[in-house]
A = this chain, B = another copy of it.
Amino acid sequence: MKKIINDANQVVQDMVDGLVAANPTTLKQVPETFVVVRKDAPVKGKVAIVSGGGSGHEPAHAGYIGKGMLDAAVCGEVFTSPTPDQVLEAIKAVDGGAGVLLVIKNYTGDVLNFEMAAELAEMEGIQVEKVIVNDDVAVEDSSFTTGRRGIAGTIFVHKLAGAKAASGASLEEVKSVAEKVVANVRSMGMALTPCTVPAAGTPSFQLAEDEMEIGMGIHGEPGINCGLIASADEIATTLTEKILEDYDFSGEVAVLVNGLGATPEMELYIVNKKVHALLADKGIRIYKTFVGEYMTSLEMAGCSVSLLKLDEELKELLDAESLAPAFRI
């Protein structure tokens, strides 16, 4: 394991300190927690948006804190959902009286911990709603299992719900935008290499020098198949087609080509070229494209593609101002 860290058990602490130090005018930490909130929180009368999850997915989620996006991010231990008390602290720190929306990626841990926090917050008289993001089409859509994972498409939920909240909308309205985004976003990823949880010290899985895994989750959970490494065009095609099979994207879309951590931006642009060609072929219009690292998996090499189907309302929300450092609009 080669990492630039001090103590494998202190990485989240050190990261949060370094993050807040880097953004002293826009971020603050809730004392004695790994909760990071807008410096000006709570914003009176505005619905607050809280997200979070295990650490190791940076810039998700703390990079999305800012006017027009998140009010708080709860940083769990690496790959470990944060605990209910931490989520509760976040909710309390940002509630401006108009209620709080929790944006939860669909993993058992996140769902359980955020749900418990929501119950605790309601007991304290705070109005809380939640939305669960499950954009990963690599996983079968089923009500008998945990269901689909939440991956990079989550960023669109942050952005659009955040824009709606910034516009002064009610909790119900913000939640309904978030649900609309969830209903209209699909993603799929792939990996070339594993990653190592610092405190574990060894990679969480193995891929041979000529192998890749299609459909990989952001914690290294496997995908649809492990096969020989393919070309960028083939990879882009596999991911895009699986997404298009799952949902009718005809009309206009936003595209997100996301790097998992170790993949050079060059390669993401190569993938983007093919995604554009594929969508053009199908007559799907691309309204906006985002290429970069938005939802990572430590130092995993790989990428994901997300599509968000847009209508006039969603376009306006996508274009609204965001001052979040990792998603400036």
Contact = CB atoms under 8 A, between A and B. Distances in A.
Interface of A: 2-6, 11, 14-19, 21-23, 55-56, 58-59, 63, 78, 192-193, 209, 212, 229, 231-233, 235, 255, 257, 261-274, 276, 289-291, 293, 296, 298-299, 301-303, 328
Given A4-B268, A6-B232, 7 more contacts: A3-B192, A6-B233, A14-B269, A18-B270, A22-B289, A266-B298, A328-B328
Assembly stoichiometry (copies): 2
B4 A58 contact: no
Contacts of A55: 266
Contacts of A263: 4, 299
A232 B269 contact: no
A128 B185 CA distance: 48
A33 to B, nearest CB: 17
4 shortest interchain CB distances as A-B pairs: A18-B269, A18-B273, A262-B262, A58-B265
A212 B264 CA distance: 20
Contacts of A291: 18-19, 22
Given A298-B264, A301-B262, A4 B273 contact: no
A23 B192 CA distance: 27
B192 A2 contact: yes
A270 to B, nearest CB: 4
A21 B272 CA distance: 8
B15 A269 contact: yes
A27 B235 CA distance: 26
B270 A15 contact: yes
A78 B270 CA distance: 14
A264 B18 contact: no
Nearest to A328: B328
A6 B262 CA distance: 18
